[in-house]
Every structure is written in C-alpha cells, then in structure tokens.
Structure 1
Amino acid sequence: MPFLAVALFGAYGLAGVFGMVAVMYALADVTGIFRDAGLSVTSRACDPWTEVLHDLESGATDVALGGLWVPGMSAGSSRALTVIGQLNHTCPKVIVRREAHPDFALADLAGQVVLAPGAGGSGPYAVTAGLMREAGVDPDRVDFVRDLSTSMLVELFVAELGDAIVLDLVTAVELESAGHGHVVYRNLEHGGLMPNSVYYCRTDRVEELRDRLTRFVAGVATAMNRLPDTPAETIDGILRTRWPGKDLAVLRQAVAQMSAGRVWERPSRSTPPPATGGCACSPRTRCSPASPPTTSSPTTAS
C-alpha cells in the first residue's frame, strides 16, 4: 500500500488546540477513508514547528500542514514549496474581552492593550492587524503584546493584564465557560474567506508524489463531504482520543461553531497551485481545498 508521511506545524498537532482545524484529517483516518483509497498515512507534530521544513528537506516527511504564509514567503527563494491542498475555508480565531460587548467593533481596540499569542507563529497578530486595516483602523493605535505562548497570555489575561486577547476557538470557549471573558468578535462571522491552513510539499517532489497526494487530498475532501452525516459518536470518539485532557462539551461546541462558520466548506471553484512553487493564493484568491496537485496555470477564483 502506498505510504505518505505528514508533518504538522506544532500547534496543529492533533493534540494541539489549533489541531481542531485538522479534524477532517482525523475523520478520514479513523473512518478508513485513506485505507479505502489504498493509502497508508502517518503523521507527527513538530515542535519547534520549523522541524517540518527540515523533515521536508531531508525527505523524512512528504507533506507538511501549516500556515499559508510559509510557502507564500518562500516563493522565489531556494526553498521551493507547492501548496497541494487547503484545509480550511475560514479562520476560527476570536477576540475575547472581560465584559460582553454586543456592539463591538475593531475600532474599539484603539488605545487598548491586546494580547496576541505568537510563540508558534505570527497569525493571531497578523490576522487581527490585517482585519483592522481593512476596517480602516490603524493597528499602531493598539498596544499588542506578542510572541508569548497562548497558555502564558491566557494566564496573564485572567490575572487582569490587557484589555482583550486573540484566541483559538477552543481556548476561547474554555475562558467563557470559566467566566473569565466573552467572545466579542468572531473571524468566522466577520473575517471573510481566510484559507490560512494548507498542506504543502517540496515542488521538486510533486510529480513523484502525485498519485499519493491525489489520494490524500481526495480523502480529506471526502471527509469534508461526509461530516454533516457523520454520527455524533464518531466525532466524539475523535475528540476524546485526540484531546483527552479537554472537556468534551467544550470541544463539541468548538466543532459546531467551526462547522456553522464554514471552516470546512468547499468553494465551487478552485485555484490550482503553480508548478514552479509557492502558492497561487493572494488575499482575494483561494487555494483549492482537497484538490489534487496540478501543473496548470493558476486561475483566480471569483
């Protein structure tokens, strides 16, 4: 049976809070979708996350899951990477404040201290700052506390440091459940399309891996299509296994919000990755979620 090794950006590890986005991978694995496609898939979480790049370079892994910015910023460099599949359609980040704020707008953050975890990547800050710019708000008017881990900044937020914190959905639901804050802004509702989590591989290996990559992303696509009809006990089993230390009710709520927020929605048109490396995406175009790699010229989704 053909074999495919997948390396996960540390925070996307199937035990990590951001790994909720990778539930589709787990669903394809647990329900035998990969097996039925004649593919054996293994995965491991890399911490520090830069190990995914070392593993790709050495050939220890075939595919990496991580932020879109990695292949995007590597375009044109000696590290040629090709995006072969998109894992999410929208980005499940939220902003939490201590008090409920039904009429909250990003402009309300001006002059405030916002905690933006960044020990594993720049996403919480970069995404929030970008959305602020799109809303006509200057991010320089906000005092961001960055580059520390989520756990540390959550601890500090609970201890009254800062006015708001940018979080993944699981941690935000935990904070709300514990009475330590309220979600006042959801990227799923206001952030628009944001295909930030992607699978990518070395460009020079696309042809070698094409058959296996096609089976892999087709398997993830099948899991996305089957999610609405998947028995609740199957999803619960995945959640219990992958996140044994988390409250199942919190995990269920996060999955429900992500599903309702179109995280795993597949757009009707796709943007194939270029054969020369990098990614065909821009802020207004889409990677193809669970589409086979192609050497066609990139097209822009409308």
Structure 2
Amino acid sequence: MTPFHVTATGHSLNYLPEYVAVDQGFFADEDLTVTASVPRPWDRVLDDLRDGTASAALGGIWVPSMYRDRADHLVPFAQIAARAPLALLGREAAADFSWQALPGKTVLMKGSNGASVGLYFKMRLREEGIDPGRIGFIQDLDGAMLSKLFLGGLGDYLVIDYPGALRLAAAGGCHIVQAFPVQGGPIPWSVYYALGPADDGRVQQQAVFCRALQRGMDWIQAREPESYGDFLTRIFPALPVDILLRAARTYRENAMWTTPLIDPEGYERWQLGIADGHLISAPIPYETLNDPRPTAALRAAA
C-alpha cells in the first residue's frame, strides 16, 4: 500500500467524500493508505508540503493562486467541494431579505482561518451590484466569538459556516437569509494541491486518489443521509445529528459533491473574486494554475 497523507486546513462536513472513501475502502482498493491531519495554525499545511510530510494539502484555491510566481509553486489537481459551505444570518425573515438593504449595515465574518469567507462574501456583493466599501465589516475575530456577539446584538448580519448557521437559527433570535450552498452558485471552494510540478509517477498516484474520491462522491449521491447518520455522528461528534443530516442533504441536493474535476466555470468566477480581493493582480488561466491530468480519465468518462 502506498501512503498518501493529506494535510488539511480544517475538519469539515464539506470534506465528507474523503472520509467516506477512507471508511468504505475506496482508497485501499487503489492501493492507497490515505491519512489526514489538521495542523494549527492552518498555514502549517504549507510546511507539511515543503518537508514532504504530506502528499497533498486540502484547502482554498486562493492560496495556490496567491503564491503563484511569488513564492511556492502550489499546483491544484482536484476539487472536493463545489459550493461555498456558508450562510448569511440576519435578524429578519428570509422572505424579507434584500441585498440592496445591506449598504450602511455591519456584517460580521471570521478572518482568523484564512481569507475565503471575506473574499467570497465580497464577491457576492459585487455580483449583486453592491460596493463592499459601503458596508461595515468586523472580520478580525474568530467565528465562535463573533457568533456570540451577534446573538448579543453586535452588527446586523453574520457570515458563518452552514452547519453552524443551522444551529444558531434553530436556537432562535436569527434567520438564515442566504444559504450559499443553495443560492451561491458553483465555486471550487476546497481543492487538493501539491508542491511543484508532478512527474508521471505522482500524476498516476493523484489520478487513483481522484478515482477513489469520485467513488466517495457517488456513494453519497446514491444514499439519503439518514442511512449513514451513525457515520456522520462518529466523524462529527460535536454537531447534533439533525443538523448534520440537514446540512448533508442540502449539500448533496445542490451539487456540492459531484466530481473531483475542478470546474472551469466556477474557477473563472472565483478567480475574479480573488483578483478583486487584491490577492492576485489578474485572474490566472485555468491550465496555468491547475494540473488537469489527474482528473483527465474522469473527464473522459463523464
């Protein structure tokens, strides 16, 4: 068996196909022993790539984009989450929400674990014709602190992970006014990337990894979440089972997990968001940043 270690920026429901592929033996069928770790702080995933501890990092594609031609050459080769696993919480009912009412308001969103949340929400504002400069942001604190302060009356809106938003809304005092897995459109939210260009041997290893990951996605698509509720609670013991089931169902029904192929349309959209966030000077062409070879067989079979 060939070891394949994933260093991840988090432990998250939107990474579910990887956990399924491990549990169901799909990686083992490809002669891979896949393990994972979540270093703290999150940017130590780059150290794991540099020292050879990890075969791949799992996180936002904005990191390889930002580093391109500036520092490490980080090469994305597969996608696991194709929607933003976030929600916007407000104090009004969802039916009363309007994007055009946001100018002049204050939005809370975490900034302690990377740039994805802020980049994404500000991209959505621009897509709705709203200048982010017309909105006040509090985003230099962690999500747990901001959630507590929001419930206590700070700010007008809170951007948070979707399972967390379900939990807060169920407790009362706020409502999900935008569920981004449902209403946010396609985006390569979470990708696997490696250090430097791959030789033929590494491409082959990544290809069989992608093949097993596809089986994990297919396994999820073929089942209602209730049929594997025990597995979900074992992997995510801190979340109530009803929240896990609802979030997993939403992700499954809204194309979160369909293919390891990095979606070109979603990629182009996200590159505009990353560029508008000033992390890159201009969008990077798809095949300049990504290596399409590990998913080529999946593309041909589609």
Question: Quick one: which amino acid aligns to residue 216 of structure 1?
Answer: F
Which residue of 116, 119, 127 maps to 1:134? 127
Question: Quick one: which amino acid aligns to residue 53 of structure 2?
Answer: A
Post-superposition Cα deviations, 1:58-112, rounded to whole Å, max 9, x if no partner, equal 1011100000100111111231111010112221211001221304222221111
Question: Quick one: which amino acid aligns to residue 293 of structure 1?
Answer: P
1:87 and 1:290 in contact (8 A); partners too: no
2:109 and 2:118 in contact (8 A); partners too: yes
Q: Aligned with 1:120: secondary structure?
A: coil
2:225 and 2:245 in contact (8 A); partners too: no
TM-score normalised to structure 1 length = 0.85
Paired position in structure 1 for 2:4: 4
Question: Quick one: which amino acid aligns to residue 145 of structure 2?
Answer: M
Question: Quick one: which amino acid aligns to residue 25 of structure 2?
Answer: G
2:80 and 2:260 in contact (8 A); partners too: no
How does 1:105-184 map onto structure 2 within 5 Å? 105-184=98-177
* Structure 2 spans left out of the alignment, 5+ residues: 273-282, 297-302
Which residue of 167, 170, 187 maps to 1:194? 187
Structure 2 CA distance for partners of 1:194 and 1:151, relative to 1, 3 Å: same
Higher helix share: 2
* Structure 1 spans left out of the alignment, 5+ residues: 14-18, 272-278, 296-302
Task: Tell me the CA shift for residue 294 of structure 1.
Answer: 7.2
How does 1:164-243 map onto structure 2 within 5 Å? 164-230=157-223, 232=225, 235-243=228-236
Q: Aligned with 2:168: secondary structure?
A: helix
Paired position in structure 2 for 1:70: 63
2:89 and 2:178 in contact (8 A); partners too: yes
Task: Tell me the CA shift for residue 291 of structure 1.
Answer: 6.8
1:214 and 1:291 in contact (8 A); partners too: no
Task: Tell me the CA shift for residue 4 of structure 1.
Answer: 0.5
Post-superposition Cα deviations, 1:224-261, rounded to whole Å, max 9, x if no partner, equal 12212246466323311121122111111111111112
In the alignment, the residues of structure 2 paired with residue 294 and residue 214 of structure 1 have an alpha-carbon distance, to the nearest angstrom, of 6
Which residue of 265, 270, 278 maps to 2:258? 265
In the alignment, the residues of structure 1 paired with residue 133 and residue 210 of structure 2 have an alpha-carbon distance, to the nearest angstrom, of 40
Q: Aligned with 1:82: secondary structure?
A: strand
Question: Quick one: which amino acid aligns to residue 134 of structure 2?
Answer: R
1:217 and 1:290 in contact (8 A); partners too: no
Paired position in structure 2 for 1:248: 241
In the alignment, the residues of structure 1 paired with residue 104 and residue 263 of structure 2 have an alpha-carbon distance, to the nearest angstrom, of 40
In the alignment, the residues of structure 2 paired with residue 32 and residue 140 of structure 1 have an alpha-carbon distance, to the nearest angstrom, of 49
**Identical-residue share of aligned pairs (%):** 29
Paired position in structure 2 for 1:80: 73
Paired position in structure 2 for 1:51: 44
Structure 2 CA distance for partners of 1:82 and 1:236, relative to 1, 3 Å: same
Paired position in structure 2 for 1:300: none
Question: Quick one: which amino acid aligns to residue 282 of structure 1?
Answer: Q
In the alignment, the residues of structure 2 paired with residue 144 and residue 168 of structure 1 have an alpha-carbon distance, to the nearest angstrom, of 17
Q: Aligned with 1:166: secondary structure?
A: strand
Structure 2 CA distance for partners of 1:61 and 1:245, relative to 1, 3 Å: same
In the alignment, the residues of structure 2 paired with residue 237 and residue 129 of structure 1 have an alpha-carbon distance, to the nearest angstrom, of 37
In the alignment, the residues of structure 2 paired with residue 203 and residue 130 of structure 1 have an alpha-carbon distance, to the nearest angstrom, of 29
Structure 2 CA distance for partners of 1:231 and 1:178, relative to 1, 3 Å: closer
What count of residue pairs does the alignment treat as equivalent?
A: 281
CA RMSD of aligned residues (A): 2.8
Post-superposition Cα deviations, 1:134-172, rounded to whole Å, max 9, x if no partner, equal 111111111010021110100101111111100111100
In the alignment, the residues of structure 2 paired with residue 213 and residue 219 of structure 1 have an alpha-carbon distance, to the nearest angstrom, of 10
1:6 and 1:62 in contact (8 A); partners too: yes
2:80 and 2:259 in contact (8 A); partners too: no
1:270 and 1:286 in contact (8 A); partners too: no
Paired position in structure 2 for 1:293: 294
Task: Tell me the CA shift for residue 214 of structure 1.
Answer: 1.3
Structure 2 CA distance for partners of 1:268 and 1:65, relative to 1, 3 Å: closer
Q: Aligned with 2:207: secondary structure?
A: helix
Task: Tell me the CA shift for residue 190 of structure 1.
Answer: 2.9
Structure 2 CA distance for partners of 1:91 and 1:227, relative to 1, 3 Å: same
